[in-house]
Chains A and B, each alone.
Chain A
Amino acid sequence: MSVIEEVFSIDLPVGEQFRIQRCRYTPASGETTKRISIVSGIHGDELEGQYVCFLLGEWLRANPEKIKATIDIYPAINSLGIDSITRSVPFYEVDLNRIFPGSKNDFLPAQIADGVVSAMKGSEIAIDIHSSNIFLREIPQVRIAKSQAQTLVPLANKLNIDFVWVHDAVTVLESTFAHAMNTLGTKTLVVEMGVGMRLSKAYGHQLLDGLLNLMACEGFLDIKPLDVRMPIQSHVGEVAYLNASGPGLFVPSIEHCQMIEKGSVVGQIVDPLSGQVLDEVIAPIGGILFTLRAYPIVYEGSLVGRIFGENE
């Protein structure tokens, strides 16, 4: 069965409430302490997770007898932001994913963060679905801090994603939802895929299969595990960053998610005013172009792509 619940609500100044809702799916026998939380919309301009939430909800509604434990779906954490194409928390212009675990005794964004943590505390697993931002298109991937790799990489490998990126710990990331939840004992994976403000249907279905597989393997669903892809592991190679050398209009020369040779042209930076090609972005290594700029305007330093190349 499923029930829609409001887990956090706060009055806005003029006749409205800010609210966070979840849809809770439980076995016919009732709620269980075993629980998984699927989360999206911490950033209001990232919508890929909304589609995944829909697909998962649709599947669960069609297969209620397969549910073995509590499954919570939170499609819209920053609901104000999602409904207004705003990445941060409107009014405060604060990145919600930089103020976790939040506090009841701080400004609204911190109270929202605290409400989110309170609602999800006790979950065995949480999947936090992001869409990159409006500037970059990403292949489905999970990013994990090195300190948590041992626990989280085996879980990430079940998600039917293309890439597992284990990165060094950065102090500022201690303010993220994932860090807060992992600290509280909830195994939390951060998925990045697609691009901000848009839907990538194929990626949505790919991650749905991954979620079903993970929930089958971890005892949330009474189904056979799916045949999922094994993601590329970042430790077997290196990530090269491609930054714009100067301002202009970035015009890609190849499609996202292609294998690319060292020295080949990823794209051009052109000047619409003079009609000149200002620079060519050249691949410094060979490998898979797993990040590609989607928003064409660039300044010096703007990220235009990332390549993962395996060690020889």
Chain B
Amino acid sequence: MKRIEILNFKSPNRAPLIVEGFLFGEESKGPSVAIVGAMSGDHINQLYVASRLVDYLTHKEEEGKISGKILVIPAVNTYALNMGQPFWPLDKTDINMMFPGYAQGETTQRIAAKLFESLQGYDFGIILEGRRDQGMCLPYVKLIKSGYEDLEAAKDMGMRFIHYREYSPIETVMLQYNWQLWGSKALSLVFGKNGSIDHRSSGEVHSALVRFMAKHTILDVSSFEGFSSNVIGPEHITLLKASHAGIFDSLVACGDTIEKGDTLGRITDALSGKKLEKIIAPLGGIVTCQYSHPLIFQNSIAFRIASLN
């Protein structure tokens, strides 16, 4: 394993921002993959999975099991991680909204540009993503339709769901879209709850990464088959919203199979304690996401249910 410096960015007063990568194997031996961890300061779960993967791959390399080339960058925005902030601490910009980057541009555009340069030439690109809302979710593959995406490769993760959909305008400045356009088969694994570590989800994502690398002969290990992934789009997701604001209490977990009529959550008035609402499943399916903060806003999405009905 080589520990390499992806970028070294000086600060006016803090110690420099140093983004490190961990490089395993050799390109000449087989396919290559680059894995990017925490781009935001609240993507702790993504940092955890990436650093655990570095440790795992270090041992596998010692055993001679690396048969391709693997780059893992556990953390990009270490400045934000060290301050408990989600975005670049000075101007609050999101590094994952700055791709493909611009070497002559603003600070986070330059960081994105240097990071993006280091990610070029890999056969596969995997982004460990947190959520962009106050939710938590069943780990899933997010694959946007840029015209260069590879759905079959995404299935090799063996995850339960692949959310396969059109991209929104803001995603044109995100890493997945640009990485695909620049020739790597890029996808995102979305999981966990921002600011925390969920060991079950982390284990699931770790297994998916190992399975993916084994299937693509990057890693010479045996791994269990995962799921035969369900490819779903927005039309398969039912949103259940909170009619009231207040204290939110979920009665189910992400991944639970539910029946029509099941009570999924309750909302009580935050001051009087009055029971305001039961959130009832209007159909059967699987809970893929749920609101994860104990205080909920009116009309917030409390649950997302995947269903084929």
Contact = CB atoms under 8 A, between A and B. Distances in A.
Asked if A and B are interacting partners, one says: yes
Interface of A: 10-15, 18, 87-88, 91-94, 98-99, 104-108, 111, 133, 135, 171-175, 241, 243, 246-249, 273, 297-303
A287 to B, nearest CB: 19
B152 interface: no
B87 interface: yes
Contact of B296 (A13, A106, A111, A246): A13
Interface in B219-252: 239, 241, 244-247
Interface string B254-289: 000000000000000011000000000000000000
B92 A87 contact: yes
Given A15-B271, A247-B12, A303 B299 contact: no
Sort chain B's interface into a size bin: 35 or more
B136 to A, nearest CB: 14
B107 A107 contact: no
B134 A14 contact: no
B270 A297 contact: no
Contact of B169 (A175, A249, A273): A175
A13 B245 contact: yes
Contacts of B211: none
Contact of B107 (A13, A92, A104, A302): A302
Nearest to B169: A174
Given A171-B169, A299-B12, A299-B107, 9 more contacts: A13-B270, A13-B296, A105-B301, A175-B169, A247-B10, A247-B11, A297-B12, A301-B105, A302-B107
Contacts of B301: 105-107
Given A105-B239, A300-B107, A14 B170 contact: no
B43 to A, nearest CB: 13
Contacts of B297: 10-13, 18, 91, 108
A303 B270 contact: no
B151 interface: no
B295 A301 contact: no
A95 to B, nearest CB: 9
Given A107-B134, A172-B170, A11 B86 contact: no
23 contacts: A12-B297, A13-B295, A14-B245, A14-B270, A15-B270, A93-B87, A98-B97, A105-B241, A107-B301, A108-B299, A108-B300, A171-B173, A173-B169, A174-B169, A243-B105, A247-B10, A299-B9, A299-B10, A299-B90, A299-B107, A300-B107, A301-B109, A302-B106
A298 B244 contact: no
B244 A11 contact: yes
Contacts of A174: 169
Interface in B131-183: 132-134, 168-170, 172-173
A259 B149 CA distance: 50
Contacts of A104: 299
B110 interface: yes
B245 A12 contact: yes
Contacts of B244: 11
Contacts of B63: none
B104 interface: yes
Interface string B119-141: 00000000000001110000000
B10 A14 contact: no
B106 A11 contact: no
Contacts of A247: 10-12
A82 to B, nearest CB: 16
A306 to B, nearest CB: 12
A243 B12 contact: no
B196 interface: no
